[in-house]
Chains A and B, each alone.
Chain A
Amino acid sequence: MMLIDPHAHMISRTTDDYEAMAAAGVVALIEPAFWLGQPRTFVGTYVDYLSTIVGWERFRAGQFGIRHYCTIGLNSKEANNEELAEGVMEWLPRFALKEGVVAIGEIGYDEQTALEDKYFRLQLTLAKELGLPVMVHTPHRDKKQGTSRSMDVCEEMGLDPSMVIIDHNNEETVGEVLQRGYWAGFSIYPSTKMGNARMVELLKQYGSERIIVDSACDWGISDCLGVAKTAQLALQSGVPESTVRAVCYGNALAAYGQSGQMKESDWLEPPAIDQRTLYEGNSILRGGRDPVIEEPGTQRRKGLTIE
C-alpha cells in the first residue's frame, strides 16, 4: 500500500530512516517548518533552514524515491522572539511560493501568548492571500482550549475550514475539529501525542472522513514508521482497507493537494523535466506503479565490508 507521511521533520533524520520509510511504502512526505529543538537567534539561520527544506532535504528524499514537500511558516515557539519573528515574517512570502510548498505551517499556539496570537493571525492572512492550505500545530499544554481557540481564530480571519488541517489531535479534541469541518491530523508519536493502538480505536469510532495520520517524527524520540505501523495495525485489527488507505494516503493528498503543488502523478508518473532536474534522470524513479528504491544502506547492514 502506498503511504504518505504528511508530517515528518526529515532534516533531523538519517538516511536509514529514509530507507526504512521507502521500504514501508512511503511515497511522499511533508516536512513542516518548525523549530529545531535549539531556538534560532538570527533571522539568517531561519532563512537558511527554510532554504534547506525547499532544497537539499528534498533532494535527499529523492535519493530514496520519496517525494518531499514542505510547509513554510514561523512556528509558535519562535514567534515569542519578537525581533526574530519580525525578520522571518518579511521572508515568508518569498518561500511560500517555492516549488512543492503545500501549506503555511506549522503555525498556531504553544503557550498561547499575545505574540503567538499576533503571528498566527498574520500568517493566516498570508495563507488566504496566496490561496494556500494551513497546517495548525495544536499546543501540548491546555490542548483542548488551545485547539478550540485555533479554530476560532481561523474563522475570525476568514479561512475556510476545508483549507485548514488541525494537527496533533487526541480523543478529547477530535470531535469538535471534525464537527466544525476541519481536517483532523493525528501524530503517532510515542509518549506525548497519539499511540497507534489508540488511533485504531479512533478509526473504528470515527471512520475515515477528514482524518489524517502522520508520524511527526523529529529530533526527539519518535518513529518515522508511525504511519506505516498504524496502517498495519489497523488492517490487522479489522479496519477496512479503504479506511486505512484514506487516512494514511488519500486524505493527506486531498487536503494538501489543494495547494496545487502536490499530485499523485508526481510519484506515479514524474514528468521528464522533474526526473532530469531532481531525480537524476530516471535512475531513481522509473515510473509505473511503485517507485524503484535504490538501497544505499544495504551494504552497511548486510556485511562487514565497507567499500
Chain B
Amino acid sequence: MTSPKDLLQQWIGERAGAERPWLENQLAILAAPAATERDLHLFLGFAPRRLGKADLALSPEALAAAEAARPGWQPGDWSIDGAARVLGLLTFSGDRPFAETFKDLRRTSDAAEMIALYRGLPLYPEPESLHFEVGEGLRSNLKPVFEAIAHNNPYPRDHFDEHRWNHMILKALFIGAALGPITGLQDRANPELARILVQYARERWAAGRPVMEELWPLVGPFAETPEIRTQLDRARAEGRVIEEFVS
C-alpha cells in the first residue's frame, strides 16, 4: 500500500508541470539530515508561487487510494499548494519534536497556510502531541480555519475527547459551519451533546431565532433520557416544531 506521503508526492508531481524539477530538488533538500527550518520556511512560502493554487481535483481512484492509505483521509477539496505544504512538512527531517515545529509554523501562518496545516492533521506523526495546536485552530475566528479541522477530517473523530468534540459541534452551529461534513458525526453522538443542543435550541427559541434542523439527528438517539425528554416535552407543549426530527 502506498503511504500518504508517497501519494501526495505523486499527485503534486503530476501537476507540477515545469516546476517538477524544483519540487523534487526541494523535497530532497527537506529530506536530507542537514535540512534547516529555514529551508522548510522557504519551501512553504514558495509553494503557492511555484505550483499555483488550483484544486488538486483528484480522481475517484486517487480518493480511494487516500482512504486506503489513511482511513478517513479525504483530500477531495485540497489545493495543490496546500497539499505541497503538507508534503513538505511530512518530508522535513528536523530534530525538534513534530509538535514544536508545527506550533512554530502555525503561529506565523497566513490563512491559506493555516488551512493547509490543519487539513494535514490525519497524516502527522505523534497526533496526540498536537492537542494544544488543534485547540488553537478551533478557537480561530477564521471560519475556514475552523472548518479545516472540523470538515472532512478524521482527526477530531479519532483524537478528540468528548468535551472537545461537543464544543466543536456547538461552535459549528454558532458560526454557521455545516455539520454534514464532520467525519464521525453520528458515531460520536452522546447524551451530553444532546443535552447541550436541546439547551441551545431553547436559547434560540427564547431569542426568536430559528433552530438549525441539523442538530436534531444528534438529539434523537437520546430523546428518551429523562432530562432530555423533559426538555422536549416542554418544548412540544410550547408548540415548538421538533417532532419531525426526533422519533
Write the residues of chain A forming the contact surface with B, with a CB cutoff of 8 angstroms: 47, 50-51, 54-56, 58-59, 91, 93-100, 260, 271-274, 276-278, 280
Contact = CB atoms under 8 A, between A and B. Distances in A.
A277 B144 contact: yes
A104 B55 CA distance: 30
B143 to A, nearest CB: 6
Contacts of B55: 272-273
B108 A51 contact: yes
Contacts, number: 64
Contacts of A277: 79, 111-112, 115, 144
Given A94-B45, A97-B45, A98-B110, A59 B53 contact: no
Contacts of B113: 98-99
Q: Which secondary structure dominates chain A's binding surface?
A: helix
A280 B143 contact: yes
Contacts of A58: 110-111
A93 B39 CA distance: 12
Contacts of B53: 271, 273-274
A55 B111 contact: yes
Nearest to A95: B108
Contacts of A94: 41, 45, 108
Interface in B78-132: 79, 107-115
Contacts of A272: 55
Residue among A99, A100, A260 with the highest chain B CB neighbour number at 10 A = A99
Given A56-B141, A97-B42, A272-B55, A278 B107 contact: no
Interface in B43-66: 45-46, 48-49, 53-55
A99 B110 CA distance: 7
B5 to A, nearest CB: 23
8 contacts: A47-B107, A59-B111, A94-B108, A97-B45, A277-B112, A277-B144, A278-B111, A280-B143
A54 B110 contact: yes
Interface residues of B, number: 25
A91 B104 CA distance: 11
Interface of B: 38, 41-42, 45-46, 48-49, 53-55, 77, 79, 107-115, 141-144
Contacts of A96: 45
B117 to A, nearest CB: 13
A139 B10 CA distance: 53
A91 B110 contact: no
A50 B110 CA distance: 10
A91 B41 contact: no
A59 B141 contact: yes
Contact of B108 (A91, A100, A273, A278): A91
A277 B148 CA distance: 9
B74 to A, nearest CB: 15
B108 A47 contact: yes
Contacts of A278: 111-112, 144
Contacts of B79: 273, 277
Residue among A94, A100, A273, A280 facing the most chain B CB atoms (10 A cut-off): A273
The 9 closest A-B pairs by CB, nearest first: A97-B45, A98-B110, A54-B110, A99-B110, A277-B144, A273-B79, A94-B41, A273-B53, A59-B142
A306 to B, nearest CB: 12
Given A94-B41, A272-B55, A273-B54, A99 B142 contact: no
Contacts of A91: 108
A56 B45 contact: no
B53 to A, nearest CB: 5
Contact of A276 (B107, B108, B144): B144
A11 to B, nearest CB: 14
B108 A99 contact: no
Contacts of B46: 97
Given A94-B41, A97-B42, A50 B144 contact: no
Given A59-B142, A273-B79, A276-B144, A51 B112 contact: no
A271 B54 CA distance: 8
Given A260-B49, A273-B53, A273-B54, 4 more contacts: A55-B110, A55-B114, A97-B46, A276-B77
A97 B112 CA distance: 13
Nearest to A98: B110
B146 to A, nearest CB: 11
A55 B41 contact: no
A288 B113 CA distance: 27
B107 A51 contact: yes
Contact of A93 (B41, B49, B107, B115): B41
